[in-house]
Structure 1
Amino acid sequence: MITILGNTPLDVFLGTLIGWGLGALVTYWLTAYILLWLFRRTETDVDDVILGVSRRPAVILVIFYGLRNAFGALESILPGSALIDRVLWAIIAITITHWAARLFVDVLVYYVKQLAEQTEAIWDDVLVPVLERIGAPLIYLVGLFAALQALGLDLTGLWVAIGGGAFVLAFALQGILSDFFAGLILLVDTPFRTGDVIVLPDTVTKGTNITAVVRNIGIRVTHLFNVQNYTDMFIPNGALGRATFFNANRPTTNLAATVGFAAKRQGTNPNKVMAILQEAVLAHPDIVGNPAPKLTALPSVKGLKKKDPITGAPSKKRAAYNRLRAEVHVNNSLDEIRKQLQLLVTKVKKLELGGLDKEEVADISNDFDAILVLVGLRSEEISGRGWQRIKLLENPDADKTSLIILLRSWIEIWMTDPNLYPEDRDILNSEWDQKIRFFSNRLSNLYDVLHDPSGQETRVDDHIQDLIRWLDDSFKRTQVMWQEPQVWLTSFNSTFIGFNIRYYVDNIRLEHWRRPWRVESELTKDVLRRFKIEGVKLPKAMYRSGDEKTQPGVFIT
């Protein structure tokens, strides 16, 4: 309390009120001008966000805490001063609660979400949606109880009522609670994430199988987007938790498909038909395969999208030719990086047997720095108060043959594909930006180990081999034998011979998840065209091969 105006209760009240009012003005001036000016000169924006969230609550807290102190001077002469004190404490509790909730949502959740995008860990992807859903409500609930206690209310009866009500509701809402806990299990087990494409069995949809995109995993239901009829779906988490479904995004976004064809038994050379089918599936640019032979087969394909005379967009064949050529360069660069990493493993294994001295560490570090040049990264020292570390950044002056430059050029060329939609640009950029970021993070960790391997001298080669495996499993394989198109003779009888083509479409997420359907249609038309040219006769009866319920395309004869 401030007695500058006198010692009477009224003088102390006015003095305290004026003092805390000036304090509120100073607080506003500090947060609105001085701190804002200082924080805008820092490299990060987290302090700016904290200041923006805190400015108003800080002023309000100073005002109401000052009012509480000022009214404290009148407690001897003012009836109801105790009630006023409790009300002011309740307002202060509510203000602090709102402040904490805003900090939680606008700062903590926001930056945890950014951290989740930077890392490959699953736990942070699980934590973010949980924090978004239950964090702020829990803070407000705690604040509500604090405000009620500040008002002097006895919460014992309330706790008893809540306990009894929860017991009754647990029986009345068994289904809803089951869906709630099933949602938590889905978040923890992560059988799918937001954006994944899944195939739901008829036991869940009570009809035919449905291909859908995960939009959101809610507290009680999961929000899906049905790509077959472009509608939203909401399925209880309990039903999903008990179901068996397919995740088309794992292990990759390449989708396997099977198309069946048949030819008349009489006068048909099976080897000739299989050669026709092999060339047709190899020539289609959106089917996964080694790009070098696909470039050779590409001119033979017909029926692809033509050049748009109005917009000037290139033809599908021209865009595919440029993309496959760019992919050849990317693959060559990746192969060279893998080769250099493998040579480094061999050298480290020889050197680490007797322990690594300073000269050997320097030798290994120089070899690794040469690999960083191939990738297109440079090292930069970052320091702060009492700390410093090396961070790997993209080199703006990197050679045009470096991996990152080639990757970004490949993606830009891919964007010229006339079959892609405008939103596909964001999908491709997001996917490969994340992969490049993960690759850079792993190289940064390996950089630290190679330049200071103390305590890990015998495990340096293991770290390098882990990186090589990650490149194959999660970044990009230059050649995947089991994903190469395959043609089989599957059946025959007195009237026809059946054949199947097994192939992978390069990215199911593109073209609003309808890419596999288009590829199947184009492949089928091209095969029938080739059959006609080569004189392959079709049987009178048509047949299907495969399971139409789980594959978008399997068929035509």
Structure 2
Amino acid sequence: MVQYLTRLGYITATIVALYLLVFFGLRLFFRRNNSDAGLVTLKVSRLPALIIAVVVILKTSLSVLVNYQIVVWIEVFLTAVAFITVTYWIGRVLDQVVFYYLKQYAEKTEAQWDDVLVPILETVVPVLVYVIGAFLALQSLGLNLTGLWVAFGGLTFVIGYALQDIIANFFGGLVLLIDTPFRFGDVIAWKRNERAVIKKVGLRLTQLYLIDQHCEAYIPNSKFEKQKILNLSRPNPNYYYTVTLKLSTEAEICRTSDIMEWVALAHPDTLGDIDSKLDLIDRYFGRAIVDENTHQKREMGRLRLLAEREANRYLSQVEELFDSLSSRIDEMESGGLDRQEIRVILEEFTAICEVIGLGVVPADRSRKQAQLEESPELHKQGSLIGNVREWCEAWTKDPDLLPEDHSNLRRAWEQRIELLVGRTNKLFQKLSNPDTDDTRLDDAVSNLYLWIQESFKTSRNEWQKPRIWTSELTLGRGQLQEKEFSAKFYVDDITLERFQRGYRVQSEINREISWHLRRNFLVH
């Protein structure tokens, strides 16, 4: 008995020491390292660990009493408790830690598949964990599960046959997952050009927010994946709108076209040459309705355009430096690069990074190699990232924006900036440690350059300026009756204002065009 008590004391002391070490020692370590994942994991593990510790101590204390039948049943029960506890712990860790950080990771990446995959895994994996845990707990109680497995298999067949539509919807969701034609929050057009927002792709249903009806719709995946879908948010949330007017044959084509183009270009929420917009905004924006709100919109729009022009100045400088670097690498890398050429290339790329707002942080104990990080000093001197943030802040002063638009804008551009820093860092590492026979560095530079233009921002958007199209309509016996003028323009971000921004801008431009045409005696 003394030996048994001594052994039990050693085991209890060891378990208590381990418990204190893990849940107090590691807690201090995670706090010092600002590890939120570690702290949350410890929090959700405390109760399961305590239960497992008690189970281990009890099973150890009962190990010398195996001759009693009740002790055997107690040990079996404790084993089942252990399986249930571990299953509960795994489920909690998956919910509070794994899927929480997977969703954060999915928000930061450009890939679309993870936005769909993570919610599906979040639904399916815990169910599988609890089912397996339940079977193991029942098996530990001595129940013969062979018949249960057979019954389960037969039941699965019957259920599968009865629920063909649900299974079709599930695989329809997988098709959407594999093809990834959209991300959550994207604006799409489907059916009869109805506009909707992707809210969620579930195991059976896709959840949509219908913009015009201001309601939610739930579409079976098997039907939704067969629909013809236009993604209006890709490659960017700038969407093409049209204002059409029918005028008499006496309307002057050149004068009418000029006024329509100037009005569309003067609006602060459309795309086009910024200098031209600043020249026209006082004369051709907000003239139809003159009030304090219109004046505020004009002034806030002017400040936003000035901030964007400054950001575009740095962006244009970055684009020119990338063009120069790509040409230099193309000349040098034929036949391989020597150390001197690699040093020259790295110096030029570092200069580009400084314009972006990234400084080189040398390697130390916490990092094995040098890397790029945002530099407050470079932002003060003037940088692309710093000016993009100032432009974003000026954008949030738009009086037409809703309160949630402010945080959405900041979050969207911070995500883009984070992606820019990450991609630039990858290229920096590649240029810092290239193979001497590497002949594809120009491709790596070009890929980053193209990503900046297509997914971050571009200063060269002449093709996005408003355009005017005219046509002649004939009625009756071939007689010319009227002329049709169409002003086509891009709205800066159709996801703002609860996805109503494009309609508002379209209405305001239509009103301004009518006012200016009447003022110039071009319509009655």
* SS at 2:219 equivalent: strand
Question: 2:464 is matched with which residue?
Answer: 483
| Deviation for aligned residue 1:24 | 5.1
Are 1:211 and 2:195 counterparts?
yes
* SS at 1:33 equivalent: helix
Are 1:197 and 2:183 counterparts?
no
> How far apart, in 2, do the equivalents of 1:531 and 1:148 lie?
81
Task: Identify which of 220, 236, 240 aligns with 2:220.
Answer: 236
Superposition TM-score, scaled by structure 2 size: 0.93
Seen in structure 2, the aligned counterparts of structure 1 residues 38 and 537 have a Cα distance that, compared at 3 Å, is closer
Are 1:293 and 2:284 counterparts?
no
Deviations 1:440-490 (A, max 9, x none): 111111111212211553111111111111122111121324322110112
| Deviation for aligned residue 1:73 | 1.9
> How far apart, in 1, do the equivalents of 2:151 and 2:364 lie?
56
Seen in structure 2, the aligned counterparts of structure 1 residues 499 and 448 have a Cα distance that, compared at 3 Å, is same
Are 1:54 and 2:45 counterparts?
yes
* SS at 1:222 equivalent: strand
| Deviation for aligned residue 1:328 | 1.2
Question: 2:178 is matched with which residue?
Answer: 188
| Deviation for aligned residue 1:306 | 4.7
Task: Identify which of 187, 190, 211 aligns with 1:227.
Answer: 211
> How far apart, in 2, do the equivalents of 1:305 and 1:288 lie?
23
Question: 1:160 is matched with which residue?
Answer: 150
Question: 1:548 is matched with which residue?
Answer: none
Q: Which moved more, 1:210-219 or 1:405-414?
A: 210-219
- Kindly provide the amino acid, as one letter, of the partner of residue 269 in structure 1: E
Are 1:262 and 2:252 counterparts?
no
Seen in structure 2, the aligned counterparts of structure 1 residues 172 and 322 have a Cα distance that, compared at 3 Å, is same
1:241-320 alignment runs, 5 A limit: 241-265=225-249, 267-300=250-283, 301-302=285-286, 303=288, 306-307=291-292, 315-320=296-301
Seen in structure 2, the aligned counterparts of structure 1 residues 100 and 508 have a Cα distance that, compared at 3 Å, is same
Contact 2:197 2:208 in 1 (8 A): yes
Seen in structure 2, the aligned counterparts of structure 1 residues 219 and 37 have a Cα distance that, compared at 3 Å, is same
Q: Which moved more, 1:475-484 or 1:433-442?
A: 475-484
Question: 2:32 is matched with which residue?
Answer: 41
| Deviation for aligned residue 1:25 | 4.0
Contact 1:344 1:367 in 2 (8 A): yes
- Kindly provide the amino acid, as one letter, of the partner of residue 35 in structure 2: T
> How far apart, in 2, do the equivalents of 1:510 and 1:449 lie?
38
| Deviation for aligned residue 1:410 | 0.5
- Kindly provide the amino acid, as one letter, of the partner of residue 504 in structure 1: Y
Question: 1:520 is matched with which residue?
Answer: 506
* SS at 2:470 equivalent: strand
* SS at 1:389 equivalent: coil
- Kindly provide the amino acid, as one letter, of the partner of residue 402 in structure 2: Y
Contact 1:305 1:315 in 2 (8 A): no
Task: Identify which of 337, 348, 370 aligns with 1:367.
Answer: 348
Q: Which moved more, 1:99-108 or 1:18-27?
A: 18-27
Question: How many matched pairs?
Answer: 516
Q: Which moved more, 1:299-308 or 1:168-177?
A: 299-308
Question: 1:142 is matched with which residue?
Answer: 132
- Kindly provide the amino acid, as one letter, of the partner of residue 536 in structure 1: L
* SS at 2:376 equivalent: coil
Task: Identify which of 80, 104, 109 aligns with 2:99.
Answer: 109
- Kindly provide the amino acid, as one letter, of the partner of residue 124 in structure 1: D
Superposition TM-score, scaled by structure 1 size: 0.88
- Kindly provide the amino acid, as one letter, of the partner of residue 251 in structure 2: T
> How far apart, in 2, do the equivalents of 1:68 and 1:419 lie?
68
| Deviation for aligned residue 1:329 | 1.2
Question: 2:79 is matched with which residue?
Answer: 89
* SS at 1:80 equivalent: helix
Question: 1:454 is matched with which residue?
Answer: 435
Q: Which moved more, 1:430-439 or 1:29-38?
A: 29-38
Are 1:338 and 2:329 counterparts?
no
Are 1:169 and 2:159 counterparts?
yes
> How far apart, in 2, do the equivalents of 1:456 and 1:277 lie?
57
> How far apart, in 1, do the equivalents of 2:516 and 2:299 lie?
21
Question: 1:72 is matched with which residue?
Answer: 63
- Kindly provide the amino acid, as one letter, of the partner of residue 424 in structure 1: D
Question: 1:98 is matched with which residue?
Answer: 88
> How far apart, in 2, do the equivalents of 1:40 and 1:269 lie?
73
| Deviation for aligned residue 1:66 | 1.6
| Deviation for aligned residue 1:125 | 3.0
Identical-residue share of aligned pairs (%): 35
| Deviation for aligned residue 1:47 | 2.2
Seen in structure 2, the aligned counterparts of structure 1 residues 137 and 305 have a Cα distance that, compared at 3 Å, is farther
> How far apart, in 2, do the equivalents of 1:354 and 1:480 lie?
37
Which stretches in structure 1 are left out of the alignment for 5+ residues? 7-11, 203-208, 539-557
| Deviation for aligned residue 1:153 | 1.1
Seen in structure 2, the aligned counterparts of structure 1 residues 172 and 305 have a Cα distance that, compared at 3 Å, is farther
* SS at 1:537 equivalent: coil
| Deviation for aligned residue 1:127 | 3.2
> How far apart, in 1, do the equivalents of 2:418 and 2:400 lie?
28
Contact 1:380 1:391 in 2 (8 A): yes
Question: 1:412 is matched with which residue?
Answer: 393
Contact 2:362 2:371 in 1 (8 A): yes
Are 1:30 and 2:60 counterparts?
no
Seen in structure 2, the aligned counterparts of structure 1 residues 305 and 373 have a Cα distance that, compared at 3 Å, is farther
| Deviation for aligned residue 1:535 | 0.7
> How far apart, in 2, do the equivalents of 1:268 and 1:198 lie?
37
- Kindly provide the amino acid, as one letter, of the partner of residue 513 in structure 1: F
| Deviation for aligned residue 1:124 | 3.2
Are 1:131 and 2:121 counterparts?
yes
- Kindly provide the amino acid, as one letter, of the partner of residue 368 in structure 2: Q
Deviations 1:377-396 (A, max 9, x none): 112245558x6022321101
Seen in structure 2, the aligned counterparts of structure 1 residues 314 and 74 have a Cα distance that, compared at 3 Å, is farther
Please, what is the CA RMSD of the aligned residues? Answer: 2.1
* SS at 1:496 equivalent: strand
Deviations 1:170-192 (A, max 9, x none): 22111111111111221221122
| Deviation for aligned residue 1:44 | 2.9
- Kindly provide the amino acid, as one letter, of the partner of residue 330 in structure 2: K
- Kindly provide the amino acid, as one letter, of the partner of residue 318 in structure 2: I
> How far apart, in 1, do the equivalents of 2:11 and 2:263 lie?
82
Seen in structure 2, the aligned counterparts of structure 1 residues 354 and 241 have a Cα distance that, compared at 3 Å, is closer
Seen in structure 2, the aligned counterparts of structure 1 residues 305 and 199 have a Cα distance that, compared at 3 Å, is farther
> How far apart, in 1, do the equivalents of 2:407 and 2:310 lie?
23
* SS at 1:502 equivalent: strand
Question: 2:481 is matched with which residue?
Answer: 495
Seen in structure 2, the aligned counterparts of structure 1 residues 134 and 305 have a Cα distance that, compared at 3 Å, is farther
| Deviation for aligned residue 1:63 | 0.5
Which stretches in structure 2 are left out of the alignment for 5+ residues? 475-479
> How far apart, in 2, do the equivalents of 1:39 and 1:425 lie?
33
Q: Which moved more, 1:103-112 or 1:228-237?
A: 103-112
Contact 1:183 1:238 in 2 (8 A): yes
Q: Which moved more, 1:27-36 or 1:64-73?
A: 27-36
- Kindly provide the amino acid, as one letter, of the partner of residue 85 in structure 1: E
